[in-house]
Amino acid sequence: MSIANANIVFLSIDSISFPEINAVWSALREEADAVLRADAALVRVMNSAVLFHENFAHALSRRIALKLANHDLDQDELLALTHRAYLDDPGLLLAAVADLTAVRDRDPSNSEILTPFLHFKGFIALQSHRIAHWLWLKRRLHLARHIQSRISEVFAIDIHPAATMGHGIMLDHGNGLVIGETAVVEDDVSILQDVTLGGTGKETGDRHPKIRRGVLIGAGAKVLGNIEIGVGAKIGAGSVVVSAVEEYTSVVGVPARPVGRKHANLPGVTMDQGFDEPEYMI
């Protein structure tokens, strides 16, 4: 299938079947056009990254290909591969839209869609992982591992291609993030840098954490083993979590322990990083 033919199909997917994708694409183009008008030095960047593309799928595919290409798998091969993934599963595009929106809404340093699309490695690494996961489910295991390896080399973020990631996830900064093979991260989760969702080194099989909806995990936290972190839980920076955490509960320390009263919100969405105990802050 040629890139031109793929564009026609993607245009139909973006604008007709999934209007939310088209809405984000329109906003992305508007922001890029505003930057282009304000700073002529960025004309080539805005054109090549956004404005010369016909739709969101093509622009995102090109962004992933540009970042991950090397002499083993070049840009055109990666672009074609990503096209096939989006054509086979448009849900990958819906996830990308939800992730972009999450970053815009939660990151206090950013109020745009354009900036994370262009520059935030947590966002691009997550979308690249979604392609690797698609390959893993297709049993194209070695190609999936190649994508995983390139993500790790380029972004310093290592997510096993079998790991399951929900929608509306923010990987803030992302440096040093490791997510293991049987981990599950549900919708509306926010994870800061240097976090490990790992095993204990003693088990085989299903051995990694299950992070439920709306969880917030602070920088440097380690969550180890096949344990459940309940809906709306909050994990403090630098904590080591080796046992289950109840829903809407905050934990801190090594090993982590519950602190304060249960809360009623989803800290992964609100980005409420405070605790009842004042000496702790994510």
CB 132 within 8 Å of CB 151: yes
Q: How far apart are CA 133 and CA 89, in angstroms?
A: 12
pLDDT band at 4 (very low <50, low <70, confident <90, very high): very low
Residue 128, amino acid = S
Identify the weakest region by mean pLDDT among 98-112, 194-208, 232-246.
Answer: 194-208
Identify the pLDDT of residue 245.
98
Residue-averaged pLDDT of the chain: 91
Closest CA to 123 of 150, 160, 88, 95: 95
Q: Residue 42 class from Cβ within 10 Å (0-12 exposed, 13-18 middle, 19+ buried)?
A: middle
Q: How far apart are CA 245 and CA 241, in angstroms?
A: 8
What CATH code is assigned to 1-157? 1.10.3130.10
Identify the pLDDT of residue 200.
84
CB 79 within 8 Å of CB 3: yes
Q: How far apart are CA 242 and CA 197, in angstroms?
A: 11
Q: How far apart are CA 185 and CA 278, in angstroms?
A: 28
pLDDT at 7 > cutoff 60: no
133-159 pLDDT per residue, tens: 999 999 999 999 999 999 999 999 999
Identify the pLDDT of residue 13.
56
Q: How far apart are CA 251 and CA 222, in angstroms?
A: 12
pLDDT at 218 > cutoff 70: yes
Identify the weakest region by mean pLDDT among 15-19, 169-173, 247-251.
Answer: 15-19
User: Domain locations in the chain?
Assistant: 1-157, 176-282
pLDDT at 179 > cutoff 70: yes
Q: Is the peptide bond before 255 cis (omega within 30 degrees of 0)?
A: yes
Q: How much is the pTM?
A: 0.91
Q: How far apart are CA 276 and CA 262, in angstroms?
A: 10
66-107 pLDDT per residue, tens: 999 999 999 999 999 998 999 999 999 999 999 999 999 999
Q: How far apart are CA 201 and CA 181, in angstroms?
A: 13
Sign of CA dihedral 264, 232, 274, 119: negative
Closest CA to 192 of 224, 226, 231, 237: 237
pLDDT at 1 > cutoff 50: no
Identify the pLDDT of residue 278.
54
R_g of the chain computed on alpha carbons: 19
pLDDT at 11 > cutoff 60: no
Helices (H) and strands (E) in the chain, counts: 10, 15
| Phi, then psi, of 224 in degrees rounded to 5 | -125, 130
pLDDT at 246 > cutoff 80: yes
pLDDT at 223 > cutoff 80: yes
Task: Give the CATH fold of the 176-282 domain.
Answer: UDP N-Acetylglucosamine Acyltransferase; domain 1 (2.160.10)
